Amino acid sequence: MKKLLLDNQLCFPLYALSRQVTALYRPLLERLELTYPQYLVMLLLWETDNRFVGEIGDRLLLDSGTLTPLLKRLEQKQLVTRKRNPADERQVTIQLTEAGQALKNQAVDIPTQLQEGLNLDDKQIINLRIQLVTLLNQLTKTDTVN
């Protein structure tokens, strides 16, 4: 097999599919005025509020150079607040505002709507997800199950 061919590498389908799936989210997220990475942060906060920046970064595998400006934009939209932790002033707690919590109601339908766009049944999606998560865990060596 000629390994230098684009079609024979794992990397390209992964990279291209990731962008295509993000593009599927775009029209759905536009209504909430969220970008895709912002949506991921909100998903995390809807699960468990009041997280430190570092916790969000650990979970999403993003560093402060990405998260700090992103969180400032969410703060500008009045979806979250950013407060230094009095017990340790190095840490910044991110907390949902009322508007941020309320936005969850507008987001609940997104996973179902997206799945329709994918044209795959549950079984296929779960199977693919398991493979992706397995490989992801292998690379990060961290089992991030709640």
Partner DNA sequence: TACAATTAGATTGTGCACAATATACTAACT
Partner DNA sequence: AGTTAGTATATTGTGCACAATCTAATTGTA
C-alpha dist (Å) from residue 123 to 119, 120, 126, 132: 12, 8, 5, 14
Residues lying near DNA in the complex (CB under 7 A): 15, 19, 22-23, 26, 35-38, 52-54, 57, 61-71, 73, 82, 87-92
CB of 123 to DNA, least distance (A): 27
Residues contacting a copy of itself: total by CB under 8 A: 56
Q: Which does 66 bind (CB under 5 to 8 A by kind): a copy of itself, DNA, none?
A: DNA
Question: Whose Cβ is closer to DNA: residue 118's or residue 126's?
Answer: 118
Q: DSSP letters of the chain?
A: --TTSGGG-SHHHHHHHHHHHHHHHHHHHHTTT--HHHHHHHHHHHHS-SEEHHHHHHHHT--HHHHHHHHHHHHHTTSEEEEEETTEEEEEEEEE-HHHHHHHHHHTTHHHHHHHHHT--HHHHHHHHHHHHHHHHHHHT-----
Residue 84 Cβ vs a copy of itself, minimum distance, rounded to whole Å: 26
| Residue span binding a copy of itself (CB under 8 A) among the ranges 70-78, 81-89, 91-99, 112-120 | 112-120
Indicate whether 47 belongs to the interface with a copy of itself (CB under 8 A): yes
Residues binding a copy of itself (CB under 8 A)? 3-22, 24-25, 36, 40, 43-44, 46-47, 59-61, 104, 107-108, 111-112, 114, 118-120, 125, 127-129, 131-133, 135-136, 138-140, 142, 144-146
